A and B are shown apart, each in its own frame.
Chain A
Amino acid sequence: MKRAAILIALMFASGLAANRTLAVLQTHTNAAALISTTRPQVRLPGTIYVSQQGSIYAIAGTKVRRLALPSGGVWTQPRVLPDGSLLVIRRFDAYSDLYHVSASARVLSQMTSDDPSTTNRTLQLDHWVLWPSISPDGTEVYFATDAPKPAPNQSYEVDFSLWSAPLGGGFNIGGAGVSGGTRWSVPDIYTGGDIQPVPLPDGSVLYSSYANTGKGTVVTVLGLQTSPGSRMQALTTPQQDCGAPAVSPDGVTVAMVCTHLGQTAELEVATLSGNALGPLRVLVANCLCNSPSWSPTGDSLLYMNAADPDGNFGLWYIAGAGGLHHGAPRRVTDSSVDLDATSAAAWSSR
């Protein structure tokens, strides 16, 4: 009797084992690890700010800490100011705002306010503000916003254009544009428009400009404007399809991501001389690269990439990226970490 009971138990266990073995064989999609639970693979000087799952994290040496910013929304696209403080975007479902915060995560000012509870309840009157950057002298903030746009139910158009405004002065994003700001560009409509402004030491602005080819495609070129409203000069061709520009602090080398109209990308660099861009050199080919950014000294490059088509997006580093003899790409973050690849890292010397 006892043997029979043992046999029945073993039979039941074998069925359970078969069931669980199949469950183990199933492809498991592990949730990405929070960067603060891992250690950087490469020790870099200064502090590097990255965005993951709605929070900003600071990598300093081998330590990672989360900036304790106010809860709610997605904090993304940090930019470092000369004094070590940060400009950060706080994105909600239907709008975003620009904040100035200290390195210790204290909110110094909310620079735009598109909270519907204080402005409007008409969805189409909300605005995006994204890709903030600082003029080399630290006095002006540049950004992309979808203001102005047609009144609700008049048109479907919603495209980004580039604006600048005094960093310390008040400005407001509304239906007519940015009061207190200066409009730089007028987008090619229904393309996404102009984004990712990079103010240069000579007062001009480099950016990604989306354009309708008229042949069934929308492509991006690197555009350069010498003054607000001036004609955009294309520095790359539509066939190269280059965007996400990052300019070294000395204003000499431009890093960018080009797809050459394919399904993969290349991380490339070129020398900027006046209004002309030199030949493009490939740093990383056949990648899922995005969001390059330079070190404070301009000798190293950070960027986001997934090591394989199905992998996590990590932070990668290339030493000497501006020179002919650059180092090999090295992954900074642990492979279990999946960062916001559309948010460039911001590297502070402090």
Chain B
Amino acid sequence: MKTGRQRAARGSFVAAGFLVSIVTGVVLYFLPAIQVALRDTGQVNTSLGGTAQLKPVSASEHLSSTAPFTLLLLGSDSDSKFGGAYLTQSMILTRVDPATKHVTMLSIPRDLWVRLCNGGNGKIDQAFLHGGAQCAIQTVQRDLRVHIDYYAWIGLQGLVSVLNQLGGINVIANNPVMDDYYPADLSGGNPYDYQRILVLPGAQHMSGTLALEYVRARHDDAYGDFARSQRQQQILIALRAKTKHLSLADIPGLATSLGSNFQTNMSIGQVSGLLPIAGSVPLASITQVVLLPPYTSNAYVGGQDALLPNWSLIRAEVAKYFPAAS
């Protein structure tokens, strides 16, 4: 005969066994996300070449459901040509106001000639090369006089994988996007080869590869990098439709597809907290800003073509859309 205490102990043991089994099943499901979380999220990037000493950027603990926040989105060509030393072809300063469901996106031209975090002058796309996200953030903060709460960096191969994982996106291509000198660097062959690309105009479904061609092509374009920036913002807006259907259960699949092509100082909880916010923003509440002339002007500086900033105009625009309170 078993005593009541023995029965209770055995019951507890069985319950614990079930609990351990269920937790193991859940942990195994989220394992890819956990690996990414440990490796690529919650980054406190202090690596910086040269002599400059920078304070590490750390994310706010909680992604408030009401307080506005700023997010610096960074995108790099991440193929084998660069050997891990990446420029940022895309820099989009974003402000999200969850209370009013308003999003502002300001594309920072990659050729903008600025004072970098290490004290030297150069194109702003070199900031990431010199000191990673830390340097990119500090350069933007100092030059544009804006506070940045979070950053997220994605390599182009990661963008393709994520878009494919999500089943592609629907976009209205503004005009025929053609490029006879488009880099053939993601096909696994010679990364210095060219390929011809053509994206037809109008509404269409884009795979990850087609979307990348749409946002990356620039040679046959009246506005070059500016037009590319507009198209990058367009893809982000199209992605918004996808986030409406995503849940926590989708995070492992997305994490797997991103691989090593993603870094952020947000925690994985904050990243997943962004999804419902992004999905709830109406199209009419998205403000898009591109720094065309007179905000910038073409120049030949330091032996290269660059864009000179008109800081008084740019900073006024930044102060308007990215108020200090954020």
Contacts and interface: CB of A to CB of B under 8 A. Distances in A.
A288 interface: yes
Contacts of B142: none
A318 interface: no
A30 to B, nearest CB: 8
Given A7-B17, A218-B222, A290-B204, A192 B249 contact: no
Interface string B49-66: 000000000000000000
B220 A158 contact: yes
Nearest to A156: B219
Nearest to A125: B180
Interface in B118-165: 165
Interface stretch (A171-179, A258-266, A319-327): A258-266
A310 B22 contact: no
A216 B22 CA distance: 56
Contacts of A288: 170, 172, 203
A158 B179 contact: yes
Contacts of A93: 195-196
A94 interface: yes
A306 interface: yes
B276 to A, nearest CB: 13
Contacts of B175: 191-192, 210, 218, 220
B226 A216 contact: yes
Contacts of A338: 205
B194 interface: yes
A312 B195 CA distance: 29
A342 interface: yes
B223 A19 contact: no
A190 B179 CA distance: 10
Contacts, number: 174
B22 A26 contact: no
Contact of B180 (A123, A257, A287): A123
Interface residues of A, number: 72
Given A8-B17, A93-B196, A290 B202 contact: yes
Nearest to B253: A26
Interface in B254-278: none
Interface stretch (A9-17, A41-49, A101-109, A223-231): A9-17
B200 A342 contact: yes
Contacts of A313: 170, 203-205
A290 B220 CA distance: 24
A265 B203 contact: yes
A264 B195 CA distance: 30
B249 A23 contact: yes
Interface centre among B179, B220, B247, B292, by most chain A C-beta atoms within 10 angstroms, is B220
A335 B198 CA distance: 28
B29 interface: yes
A193 B223 CA distance: 14
Contact of B14 (A7, A160, A215): A7
Contact of B18 (A11, A27, A216, A342): A11
Nearest to A12: B21
A16 B220 CA distance: 53
B201 A22 contact: no
Interface in A99-133: 123-124, 126, 128, 130
Interface string B15-33: 0011011111110111000
Interface of B: 14, 17-18, 20-26, 28-30, 165-167, 170, 172, 174-181, 194-196, 198, 200-205, 219-223, 226-227, 234, 237-238, 241-242, 244-247, 249-250, 253, 283, 290, 292
Given A14-B22, A18-B25, A310-B242, 11 more contacts: A10-B18, A15-B21, A22-B26, A22-B249, A29-B165, A93-B195, A123-B195, A124-B196, A216-B290, A309-B241, A310-B241
4 residue pairs, one from A and one from B, having the closest CB atoms:
A29-B167, A192-B176, A15-B21, A15-B25
22 contacts: A11-B20, A14-B22, A15-B20, A19-B29, A22-B29, A23-B29, A124-B181, A126-B196, A156-B181, A158-B180, A158-B220, A190-B222, A191-B222, A192-B177, A257-B202, A259-B172, A259-B174, A308-B241, A310-B170, A313-B170, A341-B202, A342-B200
